[in-house]
Structure 1
């Protein structure tokens, strides 16, 4: 049992909070004053501490640099209407981190360690949580192997860290996406369902090619036949076809998104018809051609809800209707924001007060 009450706190001697301009927050470039660290040594998590945000010294032979033994999570903290700092479903992130850990031969991070480290860090850096609409404090927990060893085996020692950064919108306008049918992100039996660093590194080259063609993101298809929609580069993806909300089921190749689950839960509570089943590329293309694809959008922590403006497939482009207040994606985003800020009652226990 880990005694999380022993978290050692070293406060920064000079805060950088004056660098935070809530009217101009670049995504992922400005980091808060402190970071949480715990080390896994001799079979246990120990030396829990919060220290000033700073660079680290690592060995050139550190196993993660060579073999990508690393996993991560992403969540956000917000200010509610009362000015309190809250986070959205962090226990779900703690649980999913351990799903990734098991697949990558990384020791489990106890939920108490995850939650207490998160809580104490957010308490200390609460001034960094912006309050303007569309802003948040992005929270990045991650684990990596620290052995000084060049050899293909699991690391014996690890480090768990949490860093935070204030953010604005991930996408500033509806996105253009390309359905990818040549490159693959994941295969059954692989690590596609885990938030493992190597998955994202492997996606960068195809994404760059798409960006050179004017797209913001890819929609990945299955690695075997490229006949079925899987997920987007930073998000799960959903389609409204003939009034039915459709999305691929989570599997060994698709990340079990927490925002995804939240959106589907709300949709079902609203009495909408929801279908979690394989979605064929041909179905989406036909629906787009025939005007039956009413909306498409990505769902994820970074973007929350990202409306899709254009879908590219092979040599064709399909422009979708501009999202207005009647669209489900707009309504569900408003509902999620209202739950986080306390404007509506949190009936599902999703909001965690710091």
Structure 2
């Protein structure tokens, strides 16, 4: 009976594999077509600008999350690292720390140091995972909890409001009509996609996620790669944190990056990256983030509450993981 049932199952298997590879793109195209039909002014420049700018920080953080997940890990601290970078930068360019009077120098130092601190804290996560073999969800939970507290202590829980055009350019500026944050997002995505597929480091990331023990026996420096991957995740979280406060012209340690870790993981899952590691798609993560954003925009533009959008997003994640499981089983 079991033997006779196999032929009827085989034709379904390529379908799951096809959906595993192209489902996100298909859904995104269908959503765009649906919006063209039912949502007023969906193809306007203003609507495009809204969706792109709202998804930029999610994509930037999700790229780092993709690399971490590709090694078989997870990073719950990205939202808190955004808050730390977002708290530190205004303290520097507003003269609260170094007292630098030259605005350009102060802004440059603020950007470099804030992102570097976020990267160093990310490396600390990787060090805990690689050296003490602590489960990534536990290791990064440390900064998930303590990181936002650090940001709140740095600012005494106060809102930092500023008007510094040289800094705000990273969130509000444009080059040839394109928002500067979109350019940053594009650079991050292209670099990560190239690195993951075309460099030794990228192949090492995938090897560790596929079979860490085998990768170690093959000579892959597992510990160093893990530390580097978490450091990259921290750096990208720091960049996203600066973009957020630049857009808002204010830094609130209580809100910057809040819930970002969940949005990033959702984008990675919907984009087709295996949450168990060993396979990753940066372009898929980009499509996953865009899909979730368009779903939310579609519902809000047509009068559906944001709470319902969260439920739909959860359903999309469940569907994505189910398709992955079916494709792997085939």
Specify the TM-score bucket, using the shorter chain as the normaliser.
Answer: under 0.3
TM-score when normalising by structure 2: 0.25
Query: Whose strand proportion is higher, 1 or 2?
Result: 1
TM-score when normalising by structure 1: 0.24
Query: Whose helix proportion is higher, 1 or 2?
Result: 2
